[in-house]
Chains A and B, each alone.
Chain A
């Protein structure tokens, strides 16, 4: 479940257990509440804590319940339990930052085990089941100390990262509670050792030193203290003080669970359970859109309760923001701040909404600051690339992208506040069936010079879906031709739709116009069904994602392949034979919609391995950590606001590898690189070039002039 992370501690405990059992039967043990007057105060603390927890979570729950029902939560319970175990308790995502992974595991396991230790003490004392005796007592002493030490290691690592490391993301929204939580934990552990050491010093050291050794850390401290030769009375006095300090801080710290980010203790595993179980590249469908009055999310109560719940899971670790392409380019979006701003807004307006709701009033009429527009600025929402990097990194499983798109839906459909260039793209899709305003090309322009382009008539196995970008943007025409030639060379039975293609609606959906998307999607599903389409090959990862993950929402179920998947298979089966040298160093850029959102990382890399003479150099950010080219989420059609452009940031990373070309699999990525590279390399001489992987494979199979075998330098 949690992999190798538990093993050192479990191993050590195991050794301790075996060793404890090896010891001759003993009457080891100790007096609970030793040297403590008025121990009943502990029960008052406990009752107060329970009261606090009930009150605190009740208050939270009231706010969550302002939200709408969350669809699909009853689906896939096993998958959800597995998520809760792996991502929640197992903290799988934390390990993407190894330092934080170790640090958090130390703290987490220490808290879990020491809570268990304390619970045993309570059981022993309160239920008078005296099991903290004999050999078990020795083992108990050992693992209690072991996890105390592990906890201190974790806290030490945390203190280091918070105060000494030049680690930025923790300081983006640092609050008093962050210091309180950390120092509180340090004091609990240290005072715990003090209590134990002083008790040992006052009792066991003189009478049963062999027992004391099992509490190895406390024993060590006790031996140190022994050097100073305090009197027993002094030790006992200090013990009392240490004991009460320990108890008070521990209860105080547990009380913080209600008021601080410590609540992630409960919310993170719960949010892992609530995490979507379908494809991450899929956006929710607005059902019965024509009958609704509000289409997007404009006020907090328009969110689902799960979307409100996850706001509380955020611990402000900043991982999302640290990988956000918009943020890296100095654009006005920080996923972490967006979540925190929504959380603060919910706390701000929630109580009034609850009051109005209970009274049966109109929550929408409650005058508040505008959530969309003021709390979350329009430009923040438009800066999102829907690349999913934030969702991928979030250790508490917050899904930022659907929340952002829901607010975009409000901007576009309810408020009609759309940036001019995005509006032009949307209108163009509506009027002309494609987003490329002003193109001089038609959907058959790419066919010029190609013989016998087969039209899909239902008799072929595959539909080759060219897509708007593949047909209507000059740069992408050679890619479309390459894919076409390679499919034919591989002997695929396929056809194209030519003039009958229309936009499948992806940009409309990402830009927030769900209504337009649904119209386009329903039309195309009908067309596909009428033409008996079963299998589709696309050269655009966005079309790929839409057909594969989103059309099933409209009863369009097709087997969908990205051209890299098809070509990699054809190469593997020997149906394509690269025989011309490509001699070039290349770096590979994972498009977000093929990679992160659809988990296709290997097929394109397999193709690269087949290219004779191609040397691949990976960028630091690759595979699931790949950085968006800047075009996703409809940003292909928007003016960027901010310090830099995302494609400049990514082009810089590509150029930094020293490779001659950057290779991708997405028409948007290619356009963004072609546009971004000259900004990084102003000199045309030796400038990096951007290719689709199909173009390189075309060269390798047909030669540089594309004239078939013999057109270029042959490998043989």
Chain B
């Protein structure tokens, strides 16, 4: 059984607000100084789901694909350390500046090139833009069924049984493979790699594919192929009008607060 995990490297979602800056003129996030990009947390859960199925089936193979800059090797290595077998990086200048559509298009092309894939696992959404489009986009491109926001995935012969998280409960669906599944955090924590695996992953070489390797034309991918245009990116003004209640004791402060609220005709 051959499973593919799509992994995206994103700016650290735990970047402290004070370090998060936007270049409004260029409509870009300015990378925070000294804060390294990370593997999107949902993608780590997608990897966990795929690895559980690999272990369940006994003889599976997991390939991790990332579309991004050279630095995305780190995200691929992380999934390799968790137990994935091979890594592919789609990296070229032409890929830059794309949207969910071009990303899905390129990843689907990579899955086709791999050939014998039984299922593709994505995070439910990337934790930077939170679009949640790429997974279903790949399914559309490949003409495969998809199930999104999974909390549990099991292989059943050539099919997949997926438990999905709904707003008011859970839903279990079964679909024939090959299929695309997007995974939610309800799946549980991704595994902590053993040191031996980390070292093996460090020694593995990641294959790099360019648009040419995938038979993609420049107009299909990256900024040239993007269908979504970012109009404006800005940070809402932070802070507010805060008045700190002075007082030697909490009781004094409470009195001051009550007085202030009465003055403002709130109480």
Within the assembled complex, what's the spacing in Å between the Cα atoms of A423 and B189? 10
The segment out of B51-59, B92-100, B119-127, B192-200 that lies at the interface is B192-200
26 contacts between A and B (CB under 8 A): A290-B199, A412-B192, A412-B195, A413-B195, A413-B196, A414-B194, A416-B191, A416-B192, A418-B192, A420-B189, A423-B189, A423-B192, A426-B192, A431-B12, A431-B36, A432-B35, A432-B36, A440-B16, A442-B16, A442-B18, A442-B19, A499-B33, A500-B34, A515-B195, A515-B198, A684-B250
A-B contacts counted at CB < 8 A amount to 50
Residues of B within 8 A of A682 (CB): none
A465 within 8 A of B: no
Residues of B within 8 A of A437 (CB): 14
A441 within 8 A of B: yes
Within 8 A of A (CB), among B200-234: none
Residues of A within 8 A of B12 (CB): 431-432
The 9 closest A-B pairs by CB, nearest first: A413-B195, A416-B194, A416-B192, A442-B16, A423-B192, A499-B34, A440-B16, A418-B192, A442-B18
A439 within 8 A of B: yes
Residues of B within 8 A of A412 (CB): 192, 195
Decide: A413 and B36 in contact? CB cutoff 8 A.
no
Decide: B189 and A415 in contact? CB cutoff 8 A.
no
Decide: B18 and A438 in contact? CB cutoff 8 A.
no
A368 within 8 A of B: no
B188 nearest in chain A by CB position: A420
Residues of B within 8 A of A418 (CB): 192
Nearest chain A CB to B228 CB, angstrom units: 29
Within 8 A of A (CB), among B139-192: 189, 191-192
Residues of B within 8 A of A515 (CB): 195, 198
Beyond A415-B194, A442-B16, 14 extra complex contacts between A and B, CB < 8 Å: A290-B199, A413-B194, A413-B196, A414-B195, A414-B196, A426-B192, A437-B14, A438-B14, A440-B16, A440-B18, A441-B16, A499-B33, A515-B198, A684-B250
Nearest chain A CB to B188 CB, angstrom units: 9
Residues of B within 8 A of A684 (CB): 250
Within the assembled complex, what's the spacing in Å between the Cα atoms of A295 and B194? 10
A22 within 8 A of B: no
Which residues of chain A have a CB within 8 Å of any CB of chain B? 290, 293, 295, 412-416, 418, 420, 423, 426-427, 431-432, 437-442, 445, 499-500, 515, 684
B17 nearest in chain A by CB position: A440
Residues of B within 8 A of A416 (CB): 191-194, 197
Within the assembled complex, what's the spacing in Å between the Cα atoms of A115 and B74? 70
Residues of A within 8 A of B189 (CB): 420, 423
Candidates A415, A431, A440, A445; contact of B38 at CB < 8 Å? A431
Residues of A within 8 A of B194 (CB): 413-416
Nearest chain B CB to A419 CB, angstrom units: 10
Decide: B34 and A439 in contact? CB cutoff 8 A.
no
Residues of A within 8 A of B18 (CB): 440-442, 445
Nearest chain A CB to B162 CB, angstrom units: 24
Within the assembled complex, what's the spacing in Å between the Cα atoms of A418 and B194? 10
Within the assembled complex, what's the spacing in Å between the Cα atoms of A270 and B189? 47
Residues of A within 8 A of B193 (CB): 416
Nearest chain B CB to A573 CB, angstrom units: 35
Nearest chain B CB to A317 CB, angstrom units: 37
Interface size class of B (residues with CB under 8 A): 20 to 34
Within the assembled complex, what's the spacing in Å between the Cα atoms of A439 and B191? 23
Within the assembled complex, what's the spacing in Å between the Cα atoms of A414 and B192? 11
- Proximity string of chain B (16-28) to chain A, C-beta cutoff 8 Å, 1 when within and 0 when not: 1111000000000
Within 8 A of A (CB), among B1-46: 12, 14, 16-19, 33-36, 38
Within 8 A of A (CB), among B93-142: none
Which residues of chain B have a CB within 8 Å of any CB of chain A? 12, 14, 16-19, 33-36, 38, 189, 191-199, 250
A498 nearest in chain B by CB position: B34
Nearest chain A CB to B117 CB, angstrom units: 27
B13 nearest in chain A by CB position: A438
Nearest chain A CB to B246 CB, angstrom units: 12
Within the assembled complex, what's the spacing in Å between the Cα atoms of A290 and B198? 10
Within the assembled complex, what's the spacing in Å between the Cα atoms of A196 and B114? 95
B81 nearest in chain A by CB position: A416
Within the assembled complex, what's the spacing in Å between the Cα atoms of A112 and B267? 85
A448 nearest in chain B by CB position: B18
B33 nearest in chain A by CB position: A499
A441 nearest in chain B by CB position: B16
Nearest chain A CB to B58 CB, angstrom units: 20
Within the assembled complex, what's the spacing in Å between the Cα atoms of A420 and B190? 10
Nearest chain B CB to A296 CB, angstrom units: 9
Residues of A within 8 A of B192 (CB): 412, 416, 418, 423, 426-427
Residues of A within 8 A of B17 (CB): 440
Q: A416-B191, A420-B189, A442-B19 are in contact. Are A432 and B196 (CB under 8 A)?
A: no
Residues of A within 8 A of B33 (CB): 499
Nearest chain B CB to A635 CB, angstrom units: 18
Residues of B within 8 A of A420 (CB): 189
Nearest chain A CB to B138 CB, angstrom units: 27
Nearest chain B CB to A157 CB, angstrom units: 51
Residues of B within 8 A of A431 (CB): 12, 36, 38
Nearest chain B CB to A230 CB, angstrom units: 78
Most chain B beta-carbon neighbours within 10 Å: one of A412, A413, A420, A426: A413
Decide: B36 and A293 in contact? CB cutoff 8 A.
no
A444 nearest in chain B by CB position: B18
Within the assembled complex, what's the spacing in Å between the Cα atoms of A618 and B36? 46
Within the assembled complex, what's the spacing in Å between the Cα atoms of A395 and B194? 37
Candidates A293, A438, A499; contact of B196 at CB < 8 Å? A293
Residues of A within 8 A of B250 (CB): 684
Nearest chain B CB to A193 CB, angstrom units: 64
Within the assembled complex, what's the spacing in Å between the Cα atoms of A413 and B198? 10
A415 nearest in chain B by CB position: B194
Nearest chain A CB to B219 CB, angstrom units: 37
Residues of A within 8 A of B196 (CB): 293, 413-414
Residues of A within 8 A of B34 (CB): 499-500
Within the assembled complex, what's the spacing in Å between the Cα atoms of A567 and B189? 45
Residues of B within 8 A of A413 (CB): 194-196
Decide: A432 and B14 in contact? CB cutoff 8 A.
yes
Within the assembled complex, what's the spacing in Å between the Cα atoms of A293 and B196? 7
B198 nearest in chain A by CB position: A515
Residues of B within 8 A of A500 (CB): 34
Q: A413-B195, A414-B196, A515-B195 are in contact. Are A439 and B16 (CB under 8 A)?
A: yes
Within the assembled complex, what's the spacing in Å between the Cα atoms of A413 and B250? 49
A516 nearest in chain B by CB position: B195
Most chain A beta-carbon neighbours within 10 Å: one of B34, B191, B192: B192
B18 nearest in chain A by CB position: A442
Most chain A beta-carbon neighbours within 10 Å: one of B33, B35, B193: B35
Decide: A295 and B19 in contact? CB cutoff 8 A.
no
Nearest chain A CB to B97 CB, angstrom units: 26
Most chain B beta-carbon neighbours within 10 Å: one of A439, A441, A442: A442
Nearest chain A CB to B104 CB, angstrom units: 27
Within the assembled complex, what's the spacing in Å between the Cα atoms of A368 and B34? 48
Nearest chain A CB to B15 CB, angstrom units: 9
B189 nearest in chain A by CB position: A420
A418 nearest in chain B by CB position: B192
B197 nearest in chain A by CB position: A416
Nearest chain A CB to B11 CB, angstrom units: 12
Within the assembled complex, what's the spacing in Å between the Cα atoms of A684 and B38? 42
A290 nearest in chain B by CB position: B199
Within the assembled complex, what's the spacing in Å between the Cα atoms of A416 and B196? 10
Nearest chain A CB to B220 CB, angstrom units: 34
Nearest chain B CB to A584 CB, angstrom units: 15
Residues of B within 8 A of A427 (CB): 192
Within the assembled complex, what's the spacing in Å between the Cα atoms of A439 and B34? 15
Within the assembled complex, what's the spacing in Å between the Cα atoms of A649 and B14? 34
Candidates B35, B195, B197; contact of A295 at CB < 8 Å? B195
Residues of B within 8 A of A445 (CB): 16, 18
Residues of B within 8 A of A499 (CB): 33-34
Within the assembled complex, what's the spacing in Å between the Cα atoms of A418 and B189? 11
Within the assembled complex, what's the spacing in Å between the Cα atoms of A277 and B14? 43
